[in-house]
Structure 1
Amino acid sequence: MTTSIIKTEEISNNLGSSELRLKDIIKTLPKECFQLSRRKAWTQVIINVLLVGLGYYSLTISPWFLLPIAWIFTGTALTGFFVISHDCGHRSFAKRRWVNDLVGHIFLMPLIYPFHSWRIKHNHHHKHTNKLDEDNAWHPIRPEVFNSWDETRQSAFEFFMRRRFWWVGSIGHWAVVHFDWRKFKAQERADVKLSVAVVVIFAAAFFPVLIATTGIWGFVKFWFVPWLVYHFWMSTFTIVHHTYADVPFKAAHKWNEAIAQLFGTIHCDYPRWVEFFCHDINVHVPHHISTAIPSYNLRLAYSSIKENWGSYLHDELKFSWPLMKQITNQCQLYVTDVGYQTFDEYYAENKHSVNR
């Protein structure tokens, strides 16, 4: 069984979990990190629109054997659309709320993603990062929860992890959570209904026109496959941001917000072109220290955090297929106060009660 990293225990023992606060970390960041720049924000928009346009142009002219490259290019550029909306959701794109809401809706429309639904759920993730049973992003499944599922659901989850289908995880989250306003508080439902209506109306107008003019193959070629590439990055970024064999999830009474954001958030380096297309969203630690930091200031903030709080940070990772294999092989179930457990370890411990 994998044991959670000793580093967080040492931090808690040496400082006392209540002594480290987010505001202490925020105070050490340069003020420039929090300055919104209209020029930088709209430059990102222009660059992203041009990249997406170039991607779709490449799809129209590419022979069949170059389509995979064009799909990866276009889907990654569309992920940049999401990151712009991500800043809007945190009110770090523009100073005016209505601008954030308008831009956020516009750039999530092609992805059929309801803006307010995502914004509300995502802010919950920031408030409860790596808190066991409360974090609503990529959270681990405890053995007792897994054991309570029926065999079909257990088999589906096990297949999902063992066969490395992590990259479709965000599709399930998108479909199950973001269109059902009953999953939201009463005061949030009007915003959620508005965002759902926006993407439903867009889809009802856009998809029939796309199919009528390009056929079913056009729908697959120009929207569905780039959308899958977007979800590949969405799922990958989400799991890697907070999942590694030594990253602990804590019960509420043991959880410390500052430690969870510092050590429980992982900096992972991706190919430079991916970082450019996606506006450095994987320089993720400063974003969890303060969501007020816009994406174009994340690297400045991270340099400061490494200088002042480097001993609290998780080791940096580098994106690769072996990394994803390692995460999906090791981080399958989670034992409270102990750490990650593999399915094989789970079945070995429960062989007297599990017959598979």
Structure 2
Amino acid sequence: MSQSQYVTDAETTTESCKVAIDTHGNVFKVPDYTIKDILSAIPPECYNRKLAVSLYYVFRDIAIMAGIGYFANVFAYPYVKDLHVAARFVYWAFYGYVQGLFGTGLWVLAHECGHQAFSDYGAVNDFVGWVLHSYLLVPYFSWKYTHSKHHKATGHITRDMVFVPKTKEDFVKSRGILADIDEFSEDSPIRTLIELLTQQLGGWIYYLLTNVTGQPYPDVPKWKWNHFWPSSPVFDDKDYIYILLSDLGILTQSLVLKIWYDKFGGWSVFINWFVPYIWVNHWLVFITYLQHTDASMPHYEADQWSFAKGAAATIDRQFGFIGPHIFHDIIETHVLHHYCSRIPFYNARPASEAIKKVMGEHYRFNDENMWVSLWKSARTCQYVDDADSKGVYMFRNVNNVGVGTGKKKN
């Protein structure tokens, strides 16, 4: 059955709202509720932000990282240093992995600060967020401002600020071949794997430096498309001094690392900061990519977009023990976060349950193993097209998965 037949059948049964066809041929109905409906459903107590509670989690995560660091580098080291090189490798690799998990937790708490969900005190929020993010070489205010724009335009094909998918035409151009999409051969799994490794290991840094997956600015030199240049097109003029303050945080942390290196040596910096830092960068891309990329997820042209529709163009997933207890529920309550980003994470569960009653079928949740979802999304969500539902874009691919390429459906 062709896409147009899917749409025709869908329109005869869902005349009250606009529809599109997702990657797998399912009918997607555009949400018809308002942001007022959503916010009215959230219990008032969910908006309560408690500085003491938020600071507790900051100090908890720092204390755990410090404790693990002391155990690994001081207490257990005499028993490890004489082990076989393979055993030492496993030991230190696991250590870096665990430290990266809690480092990501701190990243999430700084993210709370950027949204002013950390406390009722803006200066406290920005100071804590600036310190935590600077430690991880994140330009706090720079990211805060572009991330705010992302929240204000989530799912908007020409205004969203990150993980903006390629259109069909842009995808063709990116492959360097002037051809119809159906003339492409399927990507090999090896190509997908290489692209995923590149994305997961370097995607965050590349985004900060080049605005990759963000909007293009054809009238501005590309070297200015970054989060460090105060007059970058991703910022507003009023942000200038705060971008410099973000850069100061990066320079300060660089000096800290230099002093650390001089006092304790390269190995100490490498295993205690750099390896966890790489893990944090990976988890950040892993989480955010899968929050905004799914075969059922729409994107909108300006005349079809609204804040309520855009916020619904996200998905909640689950990540076992790590998600709620180390990553502070950023994975499990992300849809709610897009509707009201000032609700602190420790109040997000009841608020999320409340908005589900309003969203109904428009609420997205996937409890599939996230590593499996990562692979499926990479293979399935390569570009977007609105050929049969003008203004509502759905993901398509050249890998013979689902509908939309004219190729045989698996």
Equivalent residue for 1:340? 395
1:180 maps to amino acid: W
Which region of structure 1 is more displaced relative to structure 2, 116-125 or 132-141? 132-141
Are 1:287 and 1:293, in contact at CA under 8 Å, matched by a contact in 2?
Answer: yes
3-state SS of paired residue (1:285): helix
CA distance in 2, matches of 1:201, 1:265: 35
Q: What's the offset of the Cα at 1:138?
A: 1.6
Structure with the bigger percentage of helix? 1
More displaced stretch, 38-47 vs 90-99: 38-47
Aligned with 1:73 (options 77, 81, 98): 98
63, 66, 80: which one pairs with 1:53?
66
- Normalising by structure 2, what TM-score? 0.75
The match for 1:44 is 57
Query: Aligned equivalents of 1:11 and 1:228: distance in 2?
Result: 49
The Cα RMSD (Å) is 3.1
C-alpha offsets along residues 232-275 of structure 1, whole Å, 9 cap, x if unaligned? 1100111111110110111111113212212x111100021342
- Which has more radius of gyration? 2
Aligned 8 A contact 2:150 2:161 in 1 = yes
In structure 1, C-alpha distance between the alignment counterparts of 2:12 and 2:97, rounded to whole Å? 42
* d(CA) in 2 for partners of 1:160, 1:180: 33
Check whether the contact 2:299–2:393 (CA below 8 A) recurs between aligned residues: no
Q: Supply the distance in 2 between the matched residues of 1:299 and 1:317 (Cα, whole angstroms).
A: 16
Distance 1:11 1:121 in 2: 40
Give me the whole-angstrom Cα distance separating, in 2, the residues matched to 1:291 and 1:299.
Answer: 13
Query: Which sits farther off after the overlay, 159-168 or 76-85?
Result: 159-168
Number of aligned residue pairs: give it.
341
Counterpart residue number, 1:243 = 293
Instruction: For residue 340 of structure 1, give the secondary structure of its aligned residue in structure 2.
Output: strand
Q: Which residue of 1 aligns with 2:21?
A: none
One of 120, 134, 138 as aligned partner of 2:145: 120
Deviations along 1:143-201, one digit per CA (max 9) or x if unpaired, are 3223444859xxxx998754222313222112333212222221111111111112212
Alignment of 1:125-144 (within 5 A): 125-144=150-169
* Aligned partner of 2:249 among 198, 201, 209: 198
1:261 to 284, 290, 311: 311
Given candidates 11, 31, 36, the residue that maps to 1:23 is 36
Q: 1:162 to 1:306 in 2, by over 3 A?
A: same
The 8 Å contact of residues 270 and 318 in structure 1, kept in 2 or not, is answered as no
TM-score scaled to structure 1, two decimals? 0.86
Unaligned runs of 5+ in 2: 19-29, 81-87, 178-186, 211-225, 387-391
Contact 1:33 1:301 in 2 (8 A): yes
Q: Aligned partners of 1:12 and 1:214: how far apart in 2?
A: 66
* Helix, strand or coil at the partner of 1:179: coil
1:121-200 matches, cutoff 5 A: 121-149=146-174, 151=176, 161-163=192-194, 164-165=196-197, 166-168=199-201, 169-176=203-210, 177-183=226-232, 184-200=235-251
**Is the contact between residue 167 and residue 383 of structure 2 (CA under 8 Å) also seen in structure 1?**
yes
Q: Given the alignment, which residue of 14, 17, 25 partners 2:16?
A: 14
